[in-house]
Structure 1
Amino acid sequence: MKEKIIQTALRICEKDGYESFSMRKLATKLDLDPMAIYHYFENKEALTKAMVEQIFDRFQKEILITNKNPKTSLKKILIEYWNLFIEYPGMSLYLIKNSHTDFPSVLSLNQTLLNLLSNLQPGKDIEKMLHIIIDFIHGNALAFSSLPKGKNKGGRILPNQKAFESSLSYLLDLVFDS
């Protein structure tokens, strides 16, 4: 039941946006008494944390780094991160607007990115680089998430991925050549 609650909550957030999400709306959608959800989640914040962790746990499994080239690994992670924002714009917007420090999987992603950047640009201000790259991805993904969605052969939502990848390559070249 816990998994069903999380999945239904994610669907509501993606359809209506996180701001309009409520435990009562979730209970109605699940045809449950609103108090039944509190049996599984202490409050909306606990459910939100479970939703974010589930999204990022799945994302972390997709980005297992097998490439020994840090730049290739970084690009792969950033493309998958963009895809995550395209797939979950409601939760993505929530994360952009709120602190991510309460989410271990988000902190883990940031550390992975910092480590890759540090390998690529030792001695540089990698925190600043990371903020520039992440802001680029957030803005780009939010802009694309409002467009009609197409599907690739694997069925994943990928609107204008080629344009994004080209822009990302250009940005990474600028960052690494500075």
Structure 2
Amino acid sequence: MGWTFTLHGGVAAGLGAVFLSPAALTWLPGTLPLPDASWWQAAIFATAFLTCVSALARLALTRAAKDVVWLAFRCLPGKVQMTLGALAVGGVALLVFSTQEETSLQSAEMKDGRYVAFDTTPHARGMVEISRHRYEDVLESDQRTTLAVPGLLCLGAAYAALTAGELRRADRAAAPADVT
């Protein structure tokens, strides 16, 4: 496998782990000291999107069938497979447990000294005032989702980049040598 595929897959897997770690930390008591500005959320999604699109483009350029892609992933070292699998299972579990919470509130913020959130209940949509404790719960839930989704996208990018590299290596090994 070429070094660019290894680097791309490693950076994507590292970003996935970096994004999933604080998402998991939101289950601990207290709130994470993340900035309230929306620029960091946009930066996280842009990074995950660009990493994922470039990895999918690399995988698409191999023009391999789905079953061959899975076989190529199975040819990667066991530690790589286990690490990506464990991170992906953890990220999916994090999202599933996060969405199972019985809440219709999102986008918590502080306005004029009051805590408000957007209520998505049918026939009652709009901003509602909430308690500080509820504000912290909604804020943590939003942070969890905001960090877990890009983390899973980056793990998918790592899978695609490393698999594309393995497919490229296999194609080069199977190509007939030019004999003169």
| TM-score interval (norm. to shorter) | under 0.3
Greater C-alpha radius of gyration:
2
Higher helix share: 1
What TM-score results when the alignment is normalised by the length of structure 2?
A: 0.27
Bigger relative contact order (CA 8 A; separation at least 6): 2
TM-score, normalised relative to structure 1 = 0.27
